[in-house]
């Protein structure tokens, strides 16, 4: 018993004060990318050619952060003319908004007001893992740990779709998971929300081109919230859930 108390004392209080206080991440973290206005077409072209995800649109000077895996290759070869900022608040309500030069609409304003009314006080989510690498799942799981403590906002992950207000999908939805995903969606009572987490779910991610996967959840289900990243930082997930539903 004494050691339990001693440890409790040592551990202290660890929960962050987000959203009142911003959480700082280490400087090398690669969040929202920004393309400088004066970037030369030549540099941008080299970036686009080297981009493993083919996420850069040279003509419109935009980068698709639903396709990007935030590897930072373009930042390195453009000498910072494409820069990954430390900003982790990068989720959007529309797929098209993820194709950006750096600006993203304020999510809170794009959130559907009836969702806030319906789910703002209590939101129960069923997560469906559909063929990713398990990193998105891991960083959703940490939302339950003391630092993030998602439950204090009235948001929980539940075991049954029947108890849920929506589903959170991760992974590029393999052929072998499609039926299970659709059945889980069907089993969730309406009105319901669909949240796509991670570049795999949004676009196929690193597996784009494989015949075994779906290139984008929005091709098979109506998606309400897109959370990009590979995987999205837990703070990205937290920001998205709070801005969209609170």
Partner 1 sequence: MSNAFLQISNAEKISREAIPHLSFDQFQSQALDMVTNGGKIVHYFAYPDKESLKLLAVLRTDKLFVAGCDVPDVYPSLTKTCEPFHLFEREIAEQFGIRPQGHPWLKMVRYHPNYTEGAADVFGNDYSQDIPGNYPYYQVAGEEIHEVAVGPVHAGVIEPGHFRFNCIGERVLHLEIQLGYQHRGIEKQLLAVPAKRLPIIGENIAGDTTIGHSLCMAQNLEALTGVQTDQGARVIRTIALELERLANHIGDLGALSGDVAFLPPANYFGRIRGDFLNLSLLICGNRFGKGLVRPGGVRFSLSDDIRKVLNERLAELRPEVTHVLELLFNAVTVRARFEGCGAVSHEDADHLGLVGPAGRASGMAYDVRRCFPTEHYPYMGIPENKKATGDVYARARVRYDEILQSLQIVESLAAIPVETRCVSEGMTYDLPASSFSVALNEAWRGEVSHAVLTDENGKILRYKIKDPSFHNWNGLAMSLRDTGISDFPLNNKSFNLSYCGFDL
Touching partner 1, residues 140-169 (CB under 8 A):
140-142, 144-147, 157, 159-160
Does 10 interact with partner 1 (rule: CB under 8 A)?
yes
Segment 45-74, which members bind partner 1 (CB under 8 A)?
A: 46, 49-53, 69-73
CA 73 to chain centre: 20
Nearer to partner 1, 101 or 129 (CB): 129
Nearer to partner 1, 28 or 114 (CB): 28
- Structure-block tokens of residue 35: 């393309």
Where do we find the tokens 């789910």?
119
Q: Please provide the size of the chain in residues.
A: 246
Nearer to partner 1, 107 or 143 (CB): 143
Q: What are phi and psi of 231, to 5 degrees?
A: -85, 170
Does 221 interact with partner 1 (rule: CB under 8 A)?
no
Q: Which of the ranges 94-102, 103-111, 114-122, 128-136 carries the binding residues for partner 1, by CB under 8 A? A: 128-136
- Cα distances from 4 to residues 11, 54, 109, 145, in angstroms, run 11, 52, 45, 18
- Rounded distance, CA 191 to CA 205, Å? 29
Does 6 interact with partner 1 (rule: CB under 8 A)?
yes
- Cα distances from 5 to residues 1, 13, 145, 217, in angstroms, run 6, 14, 19, 47
Does 133 interact with partner 1 (rule: CB under 8 A)?
yes
Q: Where are the alpha helices (DSSP H) in 145-233?
A: 178-187, 199-203
Does 29 interact with partner 1 (rule: CB under 8 A)?
yes
Does 88 interact with partner 1 (rule: CB under 8 A)?
no
Does 127 interact with partner 1 (rule: CB under 8 A)?
yes
- Structure-block tokens of residue 132: 């990713």
Out of 128, 194, 196, 217, point to the residue binding partner 1 (CB under 8 A): 128
Nearer to partner 1, 120 or 157 (CB): 157
- Structure-block tokens of residue 84: 């990954």
- Peptide bond between residue 84 and the one before it cis (omega within 30 degrees of 0): no
Out of 102, 172, 216, 228, point to the residue binding partner 1 (CB under 8 A): 172
Nearer to partner 1, 105 or 189 (CB): 189
Q: Shortest gap between Cβ of 167 and partner 1 (angstroms)?
A: 10
């Amino acid at each position: 018993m004494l050691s339990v108390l001693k440890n409790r004392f040592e551990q202290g209080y660890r929960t962050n004060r987000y959203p009142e206080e911003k959480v700082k991440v280490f400087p090398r973290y690669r969040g929202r990318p920004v393309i400088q206005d004066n970037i030369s077409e030549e540099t941008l072209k080299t970036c686009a050619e080297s981009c493993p995800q083919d996420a850069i649109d040279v003509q419109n000077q935009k980068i698709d952060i639903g396709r990007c895996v935030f590897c930072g290759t373009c930042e390195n070869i453009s000498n910072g003319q494409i820069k990954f900022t430390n900003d982790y608040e990068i989720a959007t309500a529309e797929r098209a908004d993820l194709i950006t030069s750096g600006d993203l609409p304020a999510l809170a304003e794009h959130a559907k007001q009836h969702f806030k009314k319906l789910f703002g006080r209590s939101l129960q989510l069923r997560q469906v893992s559909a063929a990713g690498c398990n990193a998105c799942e891991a960083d959703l799981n940490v939302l339950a740990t003391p630092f993030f403590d998602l439950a204090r906002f009235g948001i929980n992950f539940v075991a049954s779709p029947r108890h849920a207000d929506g589903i959170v999908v991760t992974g590029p939805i393999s052929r072998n998971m499609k039926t299970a995903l659709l059945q889980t969606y069907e089993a969730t009572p309406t009105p319901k929300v669909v949240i796509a987490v991670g570049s795999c779910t949004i676009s196929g991610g690193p597996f784009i081109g494989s015949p075994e996967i779906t290139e984008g959840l929005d091709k098979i289900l109506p998606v309400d919230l897109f959370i990009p990243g590979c995987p999205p930082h837990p703070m990205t997930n937290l920001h998205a859930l709070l801005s969209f539903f609170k």
